[in-house]
């Protein structure tokens, strides 16, 4: 039985990069927040500043195992997001996506709670259409080194829609495109943090391939606003909905934008492209604009400035 007016919000993966920003936003909005994490790729440092808040609770738990708590809303973010992390224990990655989704959907069903899935642009694989619309079914290798993540996330989406059809669970599925900001892991191989850390240390900047492959980069605050709007949307709005920044940059352009702000002598060095690395990525955000009245507000230079400031402090430079 619910006895407080505060919404009880569960954030799985709450000690990770995006999860920690979401926990912070949920507390600022006056909610009672339960952060669940097994610290596979997240850290207590990301949420240490929230620990004194009486409406914040941290639970060490692996979502591959059932969880019995009373909650009103669930944001399911638990899953390592960077290739370095998700490929270091690929079986655990698939388990986290699939068993984690089943357990959290079961919890949502029992609580009659709304549940949002942090899905990914990786469900589109190496896309043959550009930009990617939600109606595109994707081009994914089932047996490659990225498959544990891509197929795990695809199966999780299937589970979300079957729980909707079979049990009328109130689901929300967002497909996140590359997002960056403070509290990214400094050396987990994600391109924005990689380039910034290398530039700040005065090291050469490593570009995989010839640097002409493109990505779009969304600043974390914009993304979290998209999550909140999605959760607040009408029951009929289930997604999947792309959340990302449609600005598209080559790896060389990104490196140059970072070097312009950091300065220094770093040179660009080129290494072979990893297996199955997508050549192009850009979200079509028509649905997010239409259903959520959402679009990103922070451009790449402004977002990089904040992120560089964070890493300067983090590396004590
Ligand atoms: N950051 C991005 O650009 C991006 C893009 C697409 C999708 N996503 C999705 O958003 C979510 C958050 O990503 P992130 O960038 O914050 O990654 P992250 O690795 O920083 O955070 C993931 C968190 O989940 C936790 N976790 C992993 N396995 C778990 C398990 N079995 N049980 C409990 N906790 C577990 C980790 O310890 C970590 O704190 C992920 O689901 C990811 O797939 C992120």
Residue 1: band (very low, low, confident or very high) from pLDDT cuts 50, 70, 90:
low
- With beta carbons less than 8 A apart as the criterion, state whether 148 and 91 touch: yes
Cβ of 22 closer than 6 Å to ligand 1, yes or no, is no
Mean pLDDT of 234-241: 97
Residue 275: band (very low, low, confident or very high) from pLDDT cuts 50, 70, 90:
confident
Cβ of 280 closer than 6 Å to ligand 1, yes or no, is no
Q: Where are the beta strands (DSSP E) in the chain?
A: 8-12, 32-37, 56-60, 73-76, 114-120, 171-176, 179-180, 205-208, 214-216, 218-219, 241-243, 248-250, 268-271
pLDDT at 70: 97
ω before 131 within 30° of 0 (cis)?
Answer: yes
55 is annotated as an active-site residue:
no
Tell me which of 46 and 281 has the higher pLDDT.
Answer: 46
Distance between CA atoms of residues 190 and 261, nearest Å: 19
Tell which atom from ligand 1 comes closest to the C-alpha of 20: 16
- With beta carbons less than 8 A apart as the criterion, state whether 202 and 265 touch: yes
Residue nearest to atom 35 of ligand 1 (CA): 78
Distance between CA atoms of residues 37 and 282, nearest Å: 30
Element of type H or E holding 219: strand 218-219
Residue 219 predicted with pLDDT over 80:
yes
pTM (2 d.p.): 0.96
Distance between CA atoms of residues 178 and 161, nearest Å: 24
pLDDT in tens, 153-182: 999 999 999 999 999 999 999 999 999 999
pLDDT at 96: 98
Cβ of 38 closer than 6 Å to ligand 1, yes or no, is yes
Residue 208 predicted with pLDDT over 70:
yes
pLDDT at 81: 95
- Tokens for 137, please give them: 């079914």
Cβ of 193 closer than 6 Å to ligand 1, yes or no, is no
Q: Which of 75, 86, 149, 163 is labelled catalytic?
A: 149
Mean pLDDT of 121-127: 93
pLDDT at 85: 93
Distance between CA atoms of residues 65 and 93, nearest Å: 14
pLDDT in tens, 64-110: 999 999 999 999 999 999 999 999 999 999 999 999 999 999 999 99
Residue 317: band (very low, low, confident or very high) from pLDDT cuts 50, 70, 90:
low
Residue 213 predicted with pLDDT over 80:
yes
Distance between CA atoms of residues 111 and 285, nearest Å: 31
Q: Report the separation in Å between the CA atom of 80 and the middle of ligand 1, taken as the mean of its atom positions.
A: 4
- With beta carbons less than 8 A apart as the criterion, state whether 253 and 304 touch: no
Residue 267 predicted with pLDDT over 70:
yes
């Amino acid at each position: 039985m619910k006895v407080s007016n505060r919404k009880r919000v569960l954030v799985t993966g709450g000690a990770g990069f995006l999860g920690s920003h979401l926990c912070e936003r949920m507390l600022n909005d006056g909610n009672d927040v339960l952060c669940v994490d097994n610290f596979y790729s997240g850290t207590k440092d990301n949420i240490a500043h929230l620990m004194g808040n009486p409406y914040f609770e941290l639970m060490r738990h692996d979502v591959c195992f059932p969880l019995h708590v009373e909650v009103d809303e669930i944001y399911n973010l638990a899953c390592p997001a960077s290739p370095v992390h998700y490929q270091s224990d690929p079986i655990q990655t698939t388990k986290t996506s699939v068993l984690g989704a089943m357990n959290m959907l079961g919890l949502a069903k029992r609580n009659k709670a709304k549940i949002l899935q942090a899905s990914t642009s990786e469900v589109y694989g190496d896309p043959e259409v550009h930009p990617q619309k939600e109606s595109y079914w994707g081009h994914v290798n089932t047996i490659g080194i990225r498959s544990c993540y891509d197929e795990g996330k695809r199966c999780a989406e299937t589970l979300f829609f079957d729980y909707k059809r079979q049990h009328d669970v109130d689901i929300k599925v967002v497909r996140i495109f590359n997002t960056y900001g403070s509290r990214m892991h400094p050396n987990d191989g994600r391109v924005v943090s990689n380039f910034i850390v290398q530039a700040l240390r005065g090291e050469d900047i490593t570009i995989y391939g010839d640097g002409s492959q493109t990505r779009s980069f969304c600043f974390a605050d914009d993304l979290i606003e998209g999550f909140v709007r999605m959760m607040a949307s009408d029951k009929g709005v289930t997604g999947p909905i792309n959340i990302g920044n449609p600005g598209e940059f080559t790896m060389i352009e990104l490196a140059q934008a970072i070097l312009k702000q950091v300065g220094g002598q770093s040179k660009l060095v080129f290494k072979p492209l990893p297996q199955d690395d997508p050549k192009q990525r850009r979200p079509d955000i028509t649905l997010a604009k239409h259903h959520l009245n959402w679009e990103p507000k922070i451009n790449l230079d402004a977002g990089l400035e904040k992120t560089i400031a964070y890493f300067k402090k983090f590396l004590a430079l």
